[in-house]
Amino acid sequence: MHDVKTMIAPMAEIRELERFLIDHGREQAGRPVPTGWGRRRNKKPHGCYASAQRWMRDPSVTYTEGVAVSAGLVGHPIAHAWLTGPDGGVIDLAWEVPGAVYLGVQIPDRIASAAFVRTSAAMGGWVGELLPEVIRSGWTPGDDA
């Protein structure tokens, strides 16, 4: 497994998001999309955010956002969103080939939904990353959601 925290550490001095991921993120290995989730894929640009946000209200999964290292671009973390299944595994509805490794923060539904509403209103209905808004809200993993 790649040490994604070490890969993004130089950026952490510049960006609050990378620092948050280093402090609170959890690495997850990539895997094929579990049975039953494949039909929910979104292959459009930035489709990772749309797909994960669309299904984040499903009580069997948790919205997760951070960075992923593509199997084909080892060494280059890419901002990304996915779902974490009840078994703790990645459910990536955007990438055809799963990433080699993911580093992200699982955001409880209540926190993610509130960030979605605030971000959507500010961006005229389009929503991308939620993690910057979650960080601005002061939430950290372990806080009572």
pTM across the whole model: 0.83
pLDDT (0 to 100) of residue 8: 67
Query: Is 78 domain-assigned?
Result: yes
pLDDT (0 to 100) of residue 73: 62
Mean pLDDT (the chain, rounded): 84
pLDDT (0 to 100) of residue 90: 96
Q: Which domain holds residue 91?
A: 4-136
Query: Is 143 domain-assigned?
Result: no
Handedness of CA 83, 57, 54, 105 (dihedral sign): negative
Check pLDDT > 70 for residue 46: no
What are the tens digits of pLDDT across the range 102-127?
A: 999 999 999 999 998 888 766 565 56
Number of compact structural domains in the chain: 1
Token pair 């640009």 is found at: 45
Q: How far is CA 74 from CA 6, 69, 98, 117, in A?
A: 13, 6, 12, 34
What are the tens digits of pLDDT across the range 4-17?
A: 777 666 655 558 88
First to last CA, the chain: 30
| Amino acid letter for position 1 | M
What are the tens digits of pLDDT across the range 59-82?
A: 999 999 999 988 766 667 889 999
pLDDT (0 to 100) of residue 20: 92
Check pLDDT > 70 for residue 142: yes
